[in-house]
Structure 1
Amino acid sequence: MKLVVLGLSLSSAWGNGHATTFRALLKAFAARGHDILFLERDVPWYATQRDLADPAYCELAFYTDLTDLARWTATIAQADAVIVGSYVPEGVAVGRFVQKTARGVTAFYDIDTPVTLAKLARGDFEYLSPQGIPGYDIYLSFTGGPTLDLLEQRYGAPAARALYCSVDSALYAPTGEPKRWDLSYLGTYSPDRQPTLDRLLLEPARALPQYRFVVAGPQYPADIAWPTNVERIEHLPPAEHAAFYSASRFTLNVTRADMIAAGWSPSVRLFEAGACGTPIVSDAWEGLDQLFAPDREILIAHDTATVIAALTGADATAMGEGARARVLGAHTAAHRAAELDAHLAEAAAARRLAGAA
C-alpha cells in the first residue's frame, strides 16, 4: 500500500502526543510492507524542537502553506490511502483538498476525539468541520465506545472505528534504572488536568515530605507553588521516556475533562508506562477497566488518600508486571498497525462496492 499521512507532527514531540503516536504506528505499518509519506506543516515551534529529522521507516517532507501543499497533488491522487490527522493547521482546507484530490481511501485520524467533538459542539471548526466528516471514507478515532455511534449517527461518518494509540515495544521496556522517584507524572500542562494533578500528586507530596516526586512536561505556569520534594523537568524527549518510567516506583496518568466525559480514551502514557513495567495510578473514566484490570494491572485513584496509601503500602511490582503483560498482549504498535490495515481494507472494499452500485 502507498499511504500518505498529513499529521500535526512526526518530527517533533515537543508539547504534543501526536508525534510519538504516529512514530510507533507508522514504523509498525511500514514493517508490514507498506510505503509511507508523512507531510508535516513547517511551523517554527516544532522546527526549533525537532528530535526526528529522518525516520528510517517513511519519507518525511514539509510544506509551508496550502499553496505549497499542492506540490504533492499527484502523490495524493495516486496513493492507495490518505490520512489527515487532528490539529493539522488549516485542517478543514487540507481535508477538502485531500477529499477532492485522492482517488484512494480517505481517512481522518482523530487523536483528540473528545476535544474535537466539544469544539464542534460550540462551533469551533479549527481543524475539522461537520460538513467535512461525511467526506472521509473512514473516521479513525482515539476514542472508542459510544463515541463511535455518535460519529456515525450525528455527524454522518460512513464508518467510525477505534484506533487507540499504542507503544513501540522495542523502545519502551524496563531499563533497570535505580528508583529515583516514588511518583512521577509526564505530560504537557493543561488547565483542566491541573486540579487532578494537584489532588493526586501535589497533595501527596505535601503529605509525604520524605518521598520524592517529579513532574515532566512544558508550559506549566510560573506561579504554580511546587512542593520542595517535587522535581520539575521542562521537557523530556521520547528517547528518555523509558528510563524515566523505569526510575519511578509509580507513575500517574491524568486525563483531560473532555476525555473523561467521553470515556474509552486511553492516553499513550498508559501504554508506554505499562510497557516499562511501572505501576500506574490513574484517574477514573468509563472503559478503563476494560483495558486494564483494576488493582491487578492498574490502580484507579479518586482521592489523595488512595495515592498516599499506595505509596506507603505494599510493593506494587506485580501490578507493574501485570500492566506490562497486558500492553504487550494487546496494545503494541504492531497490534495497531494490523488494525489500521484492516480498517483501510474495509474502507477500500466499501468504496469498490459503492462504485459498482
Structure 2
Amino acid sequence: MRLAFIGSSLVSSYWNGAATYYRGLLGALAQRGHAITFLEPDAFGRQQHRDIPDPDWARVVVWPADQAGMARALEAAAGHDVIVKASGVGVFDAELEEAVLSLRRQGSIVAFWDVDAPATLESVEKDPDNPFRGLVPRYDLVLTYGGGDPVVRAYERLGARRCVPVYNALDPATHHPVPPDPALDADLGFLGNRLPDREARVEAFFLEAARRLPERSFLLGGAGWEDKALPANVRAIGHVPTARHNGFNCSALAVLNVNRASMARYGFSPPTRVFEAAGAGACLISDAWEGIETFLEPGREVLVARDGAEVAAHLAGLDRGRARAIGEAARWRVLAHHTYEQRAALCEAVLEGRGREAAA
C-alpha cells in the first residue's frame, strides 16, 4: 500500500507527544513493505527542534503553514491508496478534515486517525454544531491511538463506519535500557509537556508527592514548565529530546505516568510514555485508569496510584531491588505483547480489509 499521512510531525517531538507513536507504527508498516509519505506543517518551531533527520523509510514533505501550503499537502496526498488525516496537526485541522474526503478515488480509502480521541469526542459531544460531527460518517475508517470500547462506541454513535483502536506500543530498537545518566538522577521523574488538561493532574500526582516527601528528589521534564511555581525538591529541565528519553527513564528510581484528564476518564489510553518507560526497564508508577491491567499487571509490572498521597507511599516503599524487578517484569511484558511490529500487523489487516471493501 502507498500511505499518505497528514500529521503534526514525524521528525520532531517538540510540542508533539505523538512523534514516538508515528515513528514506531509507520516505521513498522514500512518494514512490512508499505510506502509511507508523511506530510507535516512547518509550525510551532518543530523544524527548528528536530530529533531526527528524515528517516530512510519515509518520504517527509514539510509544507508551509498557510493556505497555499495546505493545498500543496493535499496535492501531494492525492493518488495514494490510503490517505490519513490525523488529529492535532495544529494548523488548518478543520479544513483538512473536510478536504481530504475529496481525495477519495475508486479503490482507495480515506481514514481519520485520532491521536487524542477522548478530547476529540468530548469536544464534539459538548458542541452539537461542531462541523467534525457531520464528517465522521463520511470517512471509510476511524483509527484511534487508544480508548478501547468506550471510544469505539462513542465514534459509532457519531456514525463511524468502523472504529479500531491501534494502541501505543514499544519500538525496542529505540527504547531500551541504557546506563544511568548522573545529570538525570532523581527519586521520581515525570516527562510531559505543560498542557491545560494535564497541569491539574500533574499538580495532584507529581507535585503533591514532592511536597509530601521533601527529602526526596523529583525531576520534571517537558516544555512549558519554566514559569511554574515548584517545590524546592523539584528540578525542571525543559524539553527532553527523544534521544534522551532512555536516559531519563533509566536514571531515576521510578518514573511517573499521568494521563491527561480526558484520557483518564475514558480509560484504555496508555500514552507513549508508558511503553517507552517499560521498554527501558524503568519502574513505572501510573495514575489509575480503567483498563491499565490490559497492558501491565498492577503490583508486579506497574504501581498504580489514585492520588499524590499514593504516589508518595509507593515511592517511600521502593528500594533499588524492587524497582528493578518491577521494571524488568514490565519490559518483558511489552516485548512479548505490545510492540509496534504487532500493532502494524493489526493496522495492515484493517487497512487492507477496508481497501477491499472500497474496491468492491
Common fold by TM > 0.5: yes
Q: Is the 8 A contact 1:92 1:132 kept in 2?
A: no
1:54 is paired with a residue whose SS is: coil
1:299 maps to which residue?
A: 303
1:32, distance to aligned residue in structure 2 (A): 0.7
Report the secondary structure of 2:84's partner residue: strand
Residues 43-52 or 15-24, more deviating: 43-52
Shift of 1:196: 2.8
Aligned residue number for residue 121 of structure 2: 117
TM-score, structure 2 normalization: 0.91
CA contact (8 A) 1:2 1:36 kept: yes
Distance 2:77 2:128 in 1: 27
CA deviation vs aligned residue, 1:42-88 (integer Å, no higher than 9, x gap): 22532332223422210101222343344465653321111110012
Q: Distance in 1 between matches of 2:79 and 2:179?
A: 47
Per-residue deviation, residues 126-162 of structure 1 (Å, max 9, x unmatched): 8x7111111211100122222102211x211110000
Separation in 1, partners of 2:29, 2:128: 32
Unaligned runs of 5+ in 2: none
**In structure 2, how many angstroms separate the alpha carbons of the residues matched to 1:221 and 1:115?**
25
**1:84 alignment partner, SS class:** strand
Segments of 5+ residues of structure 1 without an aligned counterpart are none
Of 134, 147, 151, the match for 1:131: 134
- Counterpart Cα distance in 1 of 2:69 and 2:174: 34
- Asked if the contact 2:10/2:22 (under 8 Å) is kept, the reply is yes
Give the aligned partner of residue 269 of structure 2.
Answer: 265
- TM-score normalized by the length of structure 1: 0.92
Provide the aligned C-alpha RMSD in A: 2.0
Kindly tell me: are residues 91 and 281 of structure 1, through their superposed partners in 2, closer, same or farther at Cα, counting changes over 3 Å? same
Corresponding residue for residue 15 of structure 1: 15
- Select which of 183, 190, 195 maps to 1:190: 195
Q: Does 1:214 align with 2:219?
A: yes
User: Structure 1's 330 and 124: CA in aligned 2 closer, same or farther, altered over 3 A?
Assistant: farther
Please say if 1:107 is aligned against 2:114. no
Match in the other structure for 2:84: 83
Percent identical residues: 37
Tell me, in whole angstroms, the C-alpha distance in 2 between the residues paired with 1:251 and 1:210.
Answer: 17
- What is the alpha-carbon distance in structure 2 between the residues aligned to residue 93 and residue 200 of structure 1? 37
Deviates more, 1:261-270 or 1:141-150: 141-150
In the alignment, does 2:320 pair up with 1:313? no
Output aligned runs, 1:1-357, within 5 Å: 1-64=1-64, 65-71=66-72, 75-88=76-89, 89-103=91-105, 104-123=108-127, 129-142=132-145, 143-152=147-156, 154-177=157-180, 180-220=185-225, 222=227, 224-314=228-318, 315-353=322-360
Distance 2:334 2:13 in 1: 22
- SS of 2:88 mapped into structure 1: coil
Change (3 A) 1:100 1:191: closer
Aligned residues: 350
| Contact 1:119/1:125 (8 A) holds in 2 | no
Change (3 A) 1:297 1:239: same
> Does the aligned pair in 2 maintain the 1:92–1:125 contact within 8 Å?
no
Q: How far did 1:213 drift?
A: 0.9
Structure 1's 307 and 38: CA in aligned 2 closer, same or farther, altered over 3 A? same
Distance in 2 separating the partners of 1:256 and 1:125: 25
Alpha-carbon separation, structure 2, partners of 1:306 and 1:196: 14
C-alpha offsets along residues 194-226 of structure 1, whole Å, 9 cap, x if unaligned?
A: 33323332233233233211010111262x331
> The residue matched to 2:4 in structure 1 has which SS?
strand
Structure 2 distance, partners of 1:229, 1:124, is: 46
Q: In structure 1, what is the Cα distance between the partners aligned to 2:306 and 2:44?
A: 39
What is the identity, as a one-letter code, of the residue corresponding to 1:235?
Answer: H
Give 4+ residue runs of structure 1 displaced > 6 Å after superposition.
none
